[in-house]
Amino acid sequence: MPRPAKKRRLRKLTQEKPMNVTHYIGFDVHKKHINFCAKTASGEIVDEGKLVAQRSVLREWAMRQSPWRGAMEATLFSAWIYDTLKPYGQALEMAHPAMLKAITASKKKNDRIDARTISDLVRCNLLPTC
């Protein structure tokens, strides 16, 4: 007598919820604009660009970001930017300017490179805070 065919159990394939990846963002602050660079924990650049230094622009940008931790150099223009962005991030720190210059001293400097360097310092937990 032939055996009955085995019933195959159908597994219900469900997709896992994507993890909320934390981005590490470095801000290079100036009077009229802010350069930013967002990286993943592995150092991959997710987003970078330039924002106009206005509260409404910063709020709109910050609301669209995935969970993030950020840092910026303490300058004359950093205080209001810090106050505007602080509620939107998991953490936001101010870097000590003198110690930051000692760490990031290089021959090639521009705003984009500075933002990338600050995001790397945040990502590696090496930021000299004040």
Model confidence over 65-74: pLDDT tens digits?
989 999 998 9
pTM of full prediction above 0.85: no
Domains identified in the chain, total number? 1
Residue 130 lies in a domain: no
**pLDDT score for 130:** 81
Q: What is the CATH number of the domain that holds 56?
A: 3.30.420.140
**pLDDT score for 12:** 44
Residue 84 lies in a domain: yes
**pLDDT score for 89:** 94
**pLDDT score for 129:** 87
Residue 58 has pLDDT above 90, yes or no: yes
For 43: left if phi > 0, alpha if psi spans -120 to 50, otherwise beta; the answer is left
**pLDDT score for 10:** 45
Q: For residue 121, what pLDDT band results from cuts at 50, 70 and 90?
A: very high
Residue 2 lies in a domain: no
What is the residue range of 49's domain? 23-123
Residue 6 lies in a domain: no
Q: For residue 3, what pLDDT band results from cuts at 50, 70 and 90?
A: low
**pLDDT score for 34:** 96
Residue 13 lies in a domain: no
Residue 43 has pLDDT above 80, yes or no: yes
List, in sequence order, the alpha helices (H) in 21-125. 55-63, 78-85, 97-104, 111-123
What's the first-to-final CA gap in the chain, in angstroms? 83
Residue 10 lies in a domain: no
DSSP, res 6: P
Residue 15 lies in a domain: no
Residue 94 lies in a domain: yes
**Rounded to the nearest 5°, which phi and psi values hold at 58?**
-65, -45
